[in-house]
Structure 1
Amino acid sequence: MKKIRNHVERLFHDLPETEEVIQVKEEIVLNLQEKAQDLMVQGKTEEDAINKTIVDFGDIDEIKAELQQPSEQMSPVKKKHTRLNLWFSVWGSVLFISLMWFMNVEYSPNTIWFVYPTFAILWWPLSMYYYWRRQGGGK
């Protein structure tokens, strides 16, 4: 049923390949293949069943319009959570690095070792910062 998949790919060719678009395309392909299978069970040939399925599917302008909405339409709650995650990672890292510094000073003041876990810990807020920026933060 490659013909169905190709038809759906042609319908969505002008949309960017986002996770949402891929998911919608897969769902449509599965539904159309299922309908074609049902028609073949009813006695139609494979080619007739596929053609009838494609013709009956019709227009997808409404679906495309929904998928084309800009990502700026992201809910304010999600944007707020992204910013909250960033601040949580910053403060969590500061607290953890402070703990490492205290343990270093208190238990082994002659050897400075707290900088090593500090580099590993700093990846957390750094990755959250880039995620926040990718989601449109700071605009």
Structure 2
Amino acid sequence: MKRLNMYLDKLFEDLPSSEQTVKVKEEITRDLEEKVADLIEEGKTEEDAVNKVIVEFGDIEEIKREMDLPQNTFNRKRELARINFSFSIWGSALIIALVVFINFYYTPHIIWFIYPAFAISWWPLSMFYHLRRKRLEKEL
């Protein structure tokens, strides 16, 4: 049953914590535990029963639509990751442009801007990784 609770926690992590969400989660948990108990009575092992119940349950998208929640609630984390990624691209581009200007204005005979530009470029790369991870988590 622990695996079943972990599965439901994962499904409900994107939803805001409200009284309605808690009630729906409790109702689904109760129903799924009853199905598991019925399958165990039929002779299945607990692990097989939990696996079958999880596969038959599927995803929670239809339940989310029925709960009258704003649509942007589901994609909020992903949108925040997108905003962070955009900000990191613009911010790093401006910082690199400043470093290039300082390099060519004060020391045009030595090209040193490449070193801080390389270090600064890791910021958008890390944000891209974070955004990509959010997309993959959504697919699971």
TM-score (normalised: structure 2): 0.49
TM-score (normalised: structure 1): 0.50
Q: Which has the larger radius of gyration?
A: 1
